[in-house]
Amino acid sequence: MKKEEVIPFYGSEEKELFEIERRCMDRSGKVLEYLKKNLPYGKILDIGAGNGFTASHLNDDHRRLYAMEPSDGMKDLDQDLIWSKGVAQDIPFHSNYFDGVYSTWAYFLSGDPREDIGIAEALRVLKSGGKLIIINNYGEDEFCSYMNDDITAKASYYQEKGFDLDIIKSAFEFDNIQEAQKLMTHFFGIKCKDLLNLKYEYNISAYILEKL
């Protein structure tokens, strides 16, 4: 794993802020519900697993979750997961190993052509008939309306590669105004410091592909 292959992420230094993000984004658990419904049973790889939040909710008698994460500071090793260190561009498993592979808001964020490498790697480690799911910001919602930079995935990029798109309608829901202002200001700057809403409409894209 080369240092330049890792996309910097604030979560390992600002644990308190990341805890707010993880707790409040998709509060009703619609992404977990989608992944439970659409991922096959068997061995499942989470690319850029962060602290293992999603993987730990999917781990059960039917699915064994492998959490791959490049940043040691992000990992919560108390989670009952099979942890590994690696990047989407160079996955440290042999070919045709997993029944399902997914990623939530990690690496596959920009629609940048370099993502081709990550998609090829994900498909390499996936068995034939297995499913690849990439979860991202869809945009066209209240949450993304505050952004200065485009943080939405490019639907056309994934659709040209044969992925289907499902749109998950969710929300950021905060427990109090202070944490809403803190996280929104961290994401979008000073213009959010006086926001008074606890709930922000948030649309999430799920790109899904079955390996032939």
Ligand X SMILES: C[S@@+](CC[C@H](N)C(=O)[O-])C[C@H]1O[C@@H](n2cnc3c(N)ncnc32)[C@H](O)[C@@H]1O
117 binds ligand X (CB under 6 A): no
Return the range that interacts with ligand X (CB under 6 A); candidates 36-44, 100-108, 146-154, 175-183.
100-108
Query: What strands lie across the sheet with 164-173, from one edge to the other?
Result: 82-84, 63-68, 42-47, 98-104, 126-137, 199-210, 164-173
Q: Judged by CB, which is closer to ligand X: 107, or 200?
A: 107
| Cβ within 8 Å of residue 37, ≥6 positions away | none
49 binds ligand X (CB under 6 A): yes
Longest dimension (CA), the chain: 51
Among 53, 172, 202, 207, binds ligand X (CB under 6 A): 53
Nearest to 124 by CA among 75, 90, 78, 85: 90
Among 54, 59, 152, 170, binds ligand X (CB under 6 A): 54
Among 20, 65, 67, 88, binds ligand X (CB under 6 A): 88
Torsion, Cα of 123, 76, 105, 189 (10° steps): -160
Q: Judged by CB, which is closer to ligand X: 6, or 17?
A: 6
Torsion, Cα of 91, 10, 187, 113 (10° steps): -30
Q: Judged by CB, which is closer to ligand X: 5, or 210?
A: 5
Shortest distance in whole angstroms from residue 46 CB to ligand X: 7
Counting residues that bind ligand X (by CB under 6 A) gives: 23
Return the range that interacts with ligand X (CB under 6 A); candidates 32-40, 104-112, 121-129, 164-172.
104-112
Of the chain, the end-to-end C-alpha distance in Å amounts to: 29
Return the range that interacts with ligand X (CB under 6 A); candidates 87-95, 123-131, 146-154, 167-175.
87-95
Q: 160-184 as b/e, with b when 16 or more CB fall inside 10 Å?
A: eeebeeeebebbbbbeeeebbbbbb
Among 56, 71, 84, 110, binds ligand X (CB under 6 A): 71
Shortest distance in whole angstroms from residue 194 CB to ligand X: 26
208 to 42, 55, 101, 204: CA distances (angstroms):
17, 17, 10, 13
Among 22, 27, 57, 199, binds ligand X (CB under 6 A): 22
Interface residues toward ligand X, by CB under 6 A = 5-7, 9, 11, 22, 47-50, 53-54, 69-71, 74, 87-89, 104-107
